[in-house]
Amino acid sequence: MSTFRSIEWKGDRLVLLDQRRIPEAKVFLELTAPEEVAAAIREMAVRGAPAIGAAAAFGVVLAARRGEALAEADALLRASRPTAVNLFWALDRMKRVWEGYSGAAQALVQALEAEALKIAEEDVAANKAIGRHALELIPDEARILHHCNTGSLATVDYGTALGIIRIAHEAGKKVHAFLDETRPRLQGARLSAWELRELGIPHTVIADGASGHVMQKFGIDLVVVGADRIAASGDTANKIGTYNLAIAARHHGVPFYVAAPTSTVDLETPSGAAIPIEERDARELTHCGPVRVVPEGSPVYNPAFDVTPAELISAIVTEAGIAYPPYEKSLPALVRKAQGGHP
């Protein structure tokens, strides 16, 4: 894989690989202000639940370096996207460092920088652990269906669901990934295919509507997806189209796995009904690039995420181990384990 990370802290600026430009160009953005980080998250130059959490943490560091009001930067970054809980989880961690702080400004900048770097490094370690735990779920030869992009681009490095595919490949398993294109923003077609090509992992891009057909015609051994927020019940918000995939998987008897760090588990949210679902600009649907593909005046509805009910999820793979139903019991135990407590 590439020798760069999609998120890199350079001591005085945050460098992001602009995901809107992949695969046609590798363009790096150099951000020095929290407003720029919030805009990059909102406009999806950086995207994917763990990646936006880490980027927001560095947004707070930038605000501190500039001597700006941290409460304002925090509010601005929190408002950038609503669904992925990692954003709020990372900003809460940063807030525990700055809230009530009364020492020297320079020492606070250093403490915030250390915390943001810790968030980033912990994410990489969590993703590798997720991949190792998942090995027991992957047959030696496996056709794996995947939705959206959950790889190095969507995290600080390695990835969650795509990381599982990568680690299984590196472990010598014969994996073939079927990648949903993931309309309307094409994270599967543009980003996951790009990552798997760089890694030399066999894959085939399919239209979202083809996933049922592929299960029926070729046979899929498992589906693995990421998550933006997992409620205490196990209900999981992820990229729009995930729910359809889970229904098709159940119909075909295909195991449906969710892969996410425990920072994506939100025990405060009891069930999927309480997860805020982002609606994005209609233009994402009405246009393909500059070309209008929906007649002028036709109403559109563009939810960016859906919620897959826990009963359709075979297991949730986290860095602390694999949670099986009933998730109300297994998820809190894994969250406690990840935090260093008893399972």
Ligand X SMILES: CSC[C@@H](O)[C@@H](O)C(=O)COP(=O)(O)O
Residues with catalytic function: 228
At its nearest, how many Å lie between ligand X and the CB of residue 40? 12
In the block, residue with structure tokens 């996951």: 192
At its nearest, how many Å lie between ligand X and the CB of residue 160? 4
Reported as half-sphere exposure (CB side, CA atoms, 13 A), residue 153 has a value of: 27
Region near ligand X per CB under 6 A, out of 55-63, 148-156, 315-323, 327-335:
148-156
Q: Does residue 84 touch ligand X according to CB under 6 A?
A: yes
How far is the CA of 221 from the CAs of 175, 215, 266, in angstroms?
10, 9, 29
Is the separation of the CB atoms in 150 and 234 below 8 Å? no
> 271: exposed, middle or buried (C-beta count within 10 Å: 0-12, 13-18, 19+)?
middle
Sites for ligand X among residues 207-236 (CB under 6 A)? 226-228
At its nearest, how many Å lie between ligand X and the CB of residue 43? 11
**Rounded-to-integer distance, Cα 187 and Cα 190, Å:** 5
**Rounded-to-integer distance, Cα 25 and Cα 326, Å:** 45
**Rounded-to-integer distance, Cα 225 and Cα 236, Å:** 10
- Give the DSSP H/E element, type plus range, for residue 221: none
Q: Does residue 53 touch ligand X according to CB under 6 A?
A: no
Does 49 show up as a binding residue in the annotation? Answer: yes
Rule CB under 6 A: choose which of 239, 272, 306, 307 binds ligand X. Answer: 239
Is the separation of the CB atoms in 148 and 47 below 8 Å? no
Per-residue x/- mask for ligand X, residues 7 to 46, rule CB under 6 A? ----------------------------------------
- Give the DSSP H/E element, type plus range, for residue 216: helix 211-217
Q: Does residue 262 touch ligand X according to CB under 6 A?
A: no
Does 93 show up as a binding residue in the annotation? Answer: no
Does 47 show up as a binding residue in the annotation? Answer: yes
Residue 69 burial (CB count, 10 A): 9
Does 81 show up as a binding residue in the annotation? Answer: yes
Q: Does residue 48 touch ligand X according to CB under 6 A?
A: yes
Rule CB under 6 A: choose which of 6, 155, 236, 263 binds ligand X. Answer: 155
Is the separation of the CB atoms in 167 and 135 below 8 Å? yes
At its nearest, how many Å lie between ligand X and the CB of residue 18? 14
Q: Does residue 80 touch ligand X according to CB under 6 A?
A: no
Does 48 show up as a binding residue in the annotation? Answer: yes
Among candidates 276, 252, 265, 262, which has minimal Cα distance to 310?
A: 265
Q: Does residue 307 touch ligand X according to CB under 6 A?
A: no
Annotated binding site for substrate: 47-49, 81, 187, 238-239
Q: Which residues are at the interface with ligand X (CB under 6 A)?
A: 47-50, 84, 148, 150, 154-155, 160, 187, 226-228, 238-239, 304
